[in-house]
Amino acid sequence: MTLPLDGILVVDLCQFLSGPYASLRLQDLGARVIKIERPDGGDLSRRLYLSDTEIGGDSTIFHAINRSKESLALDLKDPADIGALKKLLGKADVMLQNFRPGVIERLGLDYDSVKAINPGIVYASITGYGEDGPWVQRPGQDLLAQARSGVMWLNGDEDQGPVPFGLAIADMLAGAAVAQGILAALVQKGRTGKGAHVETSLLEALIDFQFEVLTTHLNDGRRKPRRSEFRSAHAYLSAPYGVYATADGWLALAMTPLGKLCDLLELPALAPYAADPKSWFTERDAIKRIIAERLATRTVAEWLAILEPADIWCAKVLEWPELLESEGFRALDMLQTVTRDDGVSILTTRSPLRIDGKRNRTHRAAPQIGEQSAAIRKEFEL
């Protein structure tokens, strides 16, 4: 299939997750991504293990985020290799980098320097905390960015203390944000021929991620969010919003009028609260405990049979094995197997985007260090 970014050349100098996530999304849209790696060890995420599973000498996380990219091994301390990289950048449409502030300038690969080589380039930078301020030189790592962003105080129950997300959300959100900026800059380049410098940081992405609840905080007297003490799922939303144990599993309940729930669950104890919408906030924990006691008496399937026909927003809480076997997941066709010439094969995800009704499928696994170096040097006469 022809994809929107066919013919776009992306040179990715990033490591770990944020930048490679952005270039993965561009690759999913048809761009050719050449990953620049150190000859001695490559991207550090090759050794960032989430478990004791290793595939072809690299971590599963490296495979997941670098599928179908090409690897060009260059020593950025070697003037000859820097010269080769600059020549490649002269022919590129996009460059990404996520070095700590100051490093890219020392390499002579900052935006102004690369723009002098290629005036129309779209240059993207991801940092931990921006280019100014007291945190600039602090490690731009996901958990640390979450810690500084305030987001940990939105998760878990009130008595738990700060609860981090169990995913690298700062990296992924920053990568997604910079990918959006790159796409907008490519549109501008197509109209005017001018490139742009797109910048974001882990902290900026996390602040934006909280825009709804942070706007509430800024405009309601700056009261701190207060999580529910029981079955909390959102620091601001009223009862019954939460996840509840049933006789054989877990059931999620979203925004639901208590009066309707009172009848369906046969819970007369909810009636006084149902008549007083303010209590859905002020008595949130008491209401949720009443609901929880009732939901524990039947199975998930039994409750779904009652609630779903009444248009109650609810869902069974699935673990991965059940998700992967579900018809809803299978219908999306979100998995693919990618392979490499050395026999490495890995089952991984596909692009979340469909273009003209079709989801792109790739076949090549993440590259070995410098796997395409010889071919790239020959092609671009580096």
Give a yes or no: residue 219 inside a domain. no
- Contact predicate 176/21, CB 8 Å: yes
pLDDT at position 50 over 90:
no
Tokens 């579900």: give the residue: 326
Residue 344 belongs to domain with CATH number: 3.40.50.10540
Give a yes or no: residue 3 inside a domain. no
Q: Which of 267, 291, 316 is the last residue of a domain?
A: 316
Residues 122 and 203 in one domain: yes
Catalytic one of 171, 208, 311, 341: 171
Overall average pLDDT of the 184-211 stretch:
97
| Residue pLDDT, tens place only, 52-72 | 888 999 999 999 999 999 999
| Residue pLDDT, tens place only, 114-127 | 999 999 999 999 99
- Contact predicate 307/266, CB 8 Å: no
| Residue pLDDT, tens place only, 283-335 | 999 999 999 999 999 999 999 999 999 999 999 999 999 999 999 999 999 99
d(Cα 291, Cα 287) in Å, to the nearest integer? 6
Give a yes or no: residue 94 inside a domain. yes
Q: What is the mean pLDDT of the chain?
A: 96
Residues 307 and 367 in one domain: no
Residues 154 and 46 in one domain: yes
Specify the pTM: 0.94
Instruction: Judge whether 171 counts as a catalytic residue.
Output: yes
Our count of domains for the chain comes to: 2
d(Cα 218, Cα 345) in Å, to the nearest integer? 50
Give a yes or no: residue 200 inside a domain. yes
d(Cα 15, Cα 37) in Å, to the nearest integer? 8
pLDDT at position 51 over 90:
no
pLDDT at position 1: 78
Overall average pLDDT of the 68-80 stretch:
97
Overall average pLDDT of the 358-375 stretch:
96
pLDDT category, 90, cuts 50, 70, 90?
very high
